A and B are shown apart, each in its own frame.
Chain A
Amino acid sequence: MASSTRSEAQHRSDAQNHSAGLSSPAQLDSAAIDALTAGEPAWLRDIRHGAFGRFEAIGQPTDRTEGWRRLELAHANVTPVLPEPSQFEVSVSNADRKKGVVAMPIADALASHEPLVREALLHARSGRTVGKYSALAEAVWQHGAFIHVPEGVELSEPIFATVRAGTYPRFIAVIGKNARAAIAESHHESGRFVSGLSDIIVGENAHLTYAHIQQCGPQTVVFSHQHARIAGGAKLVTLNFGAGASLAKSDVEVELLGRGAESDMLGLVFARGGQQFDYHTLQGHRATDTRSDLLFKSALDGHAHSVYTGVIVIEKGAQRSDAYQANRNLLLAEGARADTEPKLEIEADDVRCTHGATVGPIDADQLFYLASRGMDREIASRLIVEGFFQDVLDKVGDERLTRPLQKTFAPHLEQES
C-alpha cells in the first residue's frame, strides 16, 4: 500500500493549515452556526440554517420513537456534542492526481469546485431514521472531505479517506461520466458522539466501489447517513463495514436515477459485548431497467444486538426493475439478538423483487464436520464466521479495499499471506 500513501502527508498538512481558522462554539444555536460559517456562500449558509431548523424541530428519540423502538437507549447517550472539525487524511496517488483527481477539504473545494460541491450539498437529505442527527451534521459540519474523479478517469489506486477525530464528518465523492474508482471512507473516531453524512454521486456509465468503514471507539455513539445517486448505465458497489461503536445507527440510501443504473449494496457487521447496530437501507428504483442487489450480514457475539430494516421502493414508471434484498444473521452466543424487517413499496407492475432474511446459530452439521477434522469449537466457529463474511467481501470484488478489513475479524490471516 506504499504507493497510495505517497501524497497523504501533503494533504494532511493542507488540512492543518485550513483548520487553523476554525473554532468550536460554546453552544448549539443559530448564532453558533453564523459564527461557524462566516465567509461561506449564502446558499450554503441557507442550507445550514435550514438543516438546523429541522434538527431543532425533531424531538430527541426515545425507545418509543418510530425507527428506534428496537434499540436499548438506557445506556446510550444520544445527546449531541458541540462540533469539532473532522479532518480526513486522504491518500491519492501522484499518478491519479496528475490525471486531475482532486481530494481536499470541502471548505477548500467551495473555492475551486463550487458547482460540484453545491450540487452535492443541495441534494443532501435527512436520513429516514437518523433524521435529527443527520440534519445536525448538515448544519454544523466543518472541514470534511471532497473527492472528485473527473470524466473518463480510471483510478490506478484506491483512495483511502480516514478520519480519527471530530464530531460531524462530511464526505462528498463525485465520480464523473465513464470514470472508474474505488474509495474507502474509514471512521476511527473515539469521542462520545459522531454523526456523519456521506454523499456519493456516480455519473453516467461510471463505476464506483465505495466502502464505508466504521471502526470507532467502544464508547462512541455513531450515526451515519449515506446517500448515493446513480446515473444511467452507472454501477455502484457499496460495502458498509461495522465493527466499532457502542451504538451505531445508519441510513444507507441508494437511488437509481437513470436507465440501466445498478447497485450492489453489501453490509458486514461484527458485533460483540453489548454493541448495538441498526441499519436502515433504501434501494430506490427511480428509472427503468434498474437493478439492485443487497446482502447485509451480521455475526453477533456476547449480548450484541442488530436491527435491520430494508426498504425497496420501485416508482411507478420504473418498469423492468430488478431488486433483491437479503439479510443474514449469525448468532454466536445465546444472549445475542437480531431483528430483521423487509419492506416493499412497489408502484410499477413489470418488476422482479425478492427478499429473504435468516437469523440463527451456526449450523450444527457444519460444526460437526469441522470437529470431525480435529478443530475445537473455537477454531471451528472462527472459521465458519470468516467464511460467512468472506462471501460478502468476495462480492465487493476489490481486495485492495477489503483485505485490510479481514484482520478485524480474522487476525491470523495477516501472518499467512
Chain B
Amino acid sequence: MADTILEIKDLHVKIGDNEIIRGIDLSIERGTVHALMGPNGSGKSTLSLVLMGHPKYAVTHGDIIYQGRSILEMPPNERSLAGIFLAFQYPSAVPGVSVGNFMRNTLMARHKGDAPLTPAKFKSLLDNAAAKLHIDPKVLGRYVNDGFSGGEKKRLEMLQMLVLQPTLAVLDETDSGLDIDALRIIAQGIEAQRSPEHAILLITHYQRILNYVKPDKVHVLVKGRIVKEGGPELAHELERTGYDPIIKELATV
C-alpha cells in the first residue's frame, strides 16, 4: 500500500481578494518525486509558500494533510520540525548571520532536549553536504545569502535540504537561472535527497531539470488548477509544444 505523505484536497487560496489557487487535488507518496510544471503566474510559487505556511496567504477552502493530519493551523516552524522543507525561489538574505551560525540554530531547533550536537558532528554534517554540492566550505563563514549570486543561493538551499533530510522537500524553481554546470550539481543534490523515505515536489517552469532528475509523476498547473497529469513523458511533450496548446484547450472547453 502506498504511504501517502502529502494529500492536498480541493485547495483554494486567496491573497487579498484574489483567488490564486482554485481547487487543487494532489497526492504524494513516500519514495516518489513529483514534478509540478506550469507557466508563469499559474500559482506554483503560491502553492509552495502555502505548504510552508506563509501568513500572507489565506486558505479559503479545502485541506492539506501531511502524514495523516491537517497542517492548516500549524505554524511554519512546526511544519519544518515535522519534516517539511521549502527550497525558496528567492531566499531572504540574513546579513550578519553566518551560514554556520544559521545552520547550527536550524539543527538546534530540532534537537531540543537531545544530546547536544558536538562541533565535530556538526562540521562533518555540513562538510558532507557541501562536498556533494561542490560548495567551498568557506561559505559557512559568509552571511546567509548576503551578496550571494543566484546560483549560490540555490546551492545553499540544497545544502540545507541535505543537512536537514526532510521527509517532504518542496523545491520552488530551484533550477531557474542556472547554467548547465550548476544545473547538474543541483540535480545531483536532488538525487542525493531521493530515497525510499523521502518525497520530493519539484516545481519548475522548464523541462530541463527533468533530464537529470526523472520524476515519477508530472502535474501541470494552469491558472490555479491542475489541468493535466501523467508520467515523465508529459514533461517531454511540454518541452516540444510549450504550454500554449493546453491553455488553448482550456479556453475552448
Contacts and interface: CB of A to CB of B under 8 A. Distances in A.
Interface of A: 363-366, 368-377, 379-380, 383-384, 386-391, 394, 416
Nearest to A370: B94
13 contacts: A363-B92, A368-B55, A368-B76, A370-B94, A372-B76, A373-B77, A374-B106, A376-B109, A380-B77, A386-B96, A387-B95, A387-B143, A388-B96
A416 B81 CA distance: 23
Contacts of B143: 387, 390
Contacts of A380: 77
Interface in B43-99: 52-55, 75-77, 79-81, 85-86, 88, 91-97
B77 A374 contact: yes
A41 to B, nearest CB: 49
B111 to A, nearest CB: 10
Given A368-B52, A391-B96, 16 more contacts: A365-B92, A366-B93, A370-B94, A371-B75, A372-B85, A373-B160, A374-B80, A374-B81, A374-B106, A375-B105, A383-B97, A383-B101, A384-B97, A390-B97, A391-B95, A394-B96
B243 interface: no
A390 B102 CA distance: 14
Most buried by A among B75, B101, B104: B101
Given A363-B92, A383-B101, A386-B96, A374 B110 contact: yes
A107 B21 CA distance: 77
Given A369-B91, A371-B76, A372-B86, A383 B102 contact: yes
Identify the interface centre among B75, B76, B104: most chain A CB within 10 Å of its CB: B76
Nearest first, the 9 A-B pairs at minimum CB distance are: A387-B96, A390-B96, A374-B80, A387-B97, A374-B109, A371-B76, A369-B92, A373-B106, A371-B77
B50 to A, nearest CB: 12
A372 B96 contact: no
Interface string B134-173: 0000000001000000000000000010001000000000
A373 B102 CA distance: 9
A379 B92 contact: no
Nearest to A373: B106
A381 to B, nearest CB: 12
Nearest to A366: B92
Nearest to B97: A387
Given A379-B105, A379-B109, A383-B102, A373 B80 contact: yes
